Amino acid sequence: ETGVTQTPRHLVMGMTNKKSLKCEQHLGHNAMYWYKQSAKKPLELMFVYNFKEQTENNSVPSRFSPECPNSSHLFLHLHTLQPEDSALYLCASSLRPDSNYGYTFGSGTRLTVV
């Protein structure tokens, strides 16, 4: 049990589809994050949420739409994606955004856009 659960594990979608990624944690953390992991590139931070409020958006295209209904759940809504959006999407959480004990990660959703 990782503490951070992501579903689905794999997702294949067409460029015109709409899908959502889900992340859930019951660690009592208040900060949650979406990262994009592409081959041979550093992890890219996409969004940061603190107590359900978005505090950071790193110039992510609007075809990615995050939602954080409470401190335990985080979604990433996807629509009209491009093939270059194919990647591993990782969710993470921490007690606070400035927590220096690192983040707890989920196992990611492997997204393929066809």
Partner 1 sequence: AQTVTQSQPEMSVQEAETVTLSCTYDTSESNYYLFWYKQPPSRQMILVIRQEAYKQQNATENRFSVNFQKAAKSFSLKISDSQLGDTAMYFCAFMTTSGSRLTFGEGTQLTVNP
Contact 33, 47 (CB under 8 A): yes
Find out whether 27 and 73 touch, Cβ atoms under 8 Å: no
CB-nearer residue toward partner 1: 72 or 104: 104
Using the rule CB under 8 A, which residue among 16, 28, 42, 84 binds partner 1? 42
Four-point Cα dihedral 7, 113, 12, 70, nearest 10: 20
Binding of residue 33 to partner 1 (CB under 8 A): yes
SS3 of the chain: helix, strand, coil, percent, to 5: 5, 55, 40
Task: Pick between residue 2 and residue 82 the one whose CB is nearest to partner 1.
Answer: 2
Closest distance between partner 1 and the C-beta of residue 49, in Å?
A: 12
SS3 59: coil
Determine, following the binding rule CB under 8 A, whether residue 105 of this chain makes contact with partner 1. yes
Verify binding: residue 68, partner 1, rule CB under 8 A: no
Contacts with partner 1 by CB under 8 A lie at: 2, 33, 40-43, 45, 48, 56, 88, 90, 92, 96-98, 100-108, 110
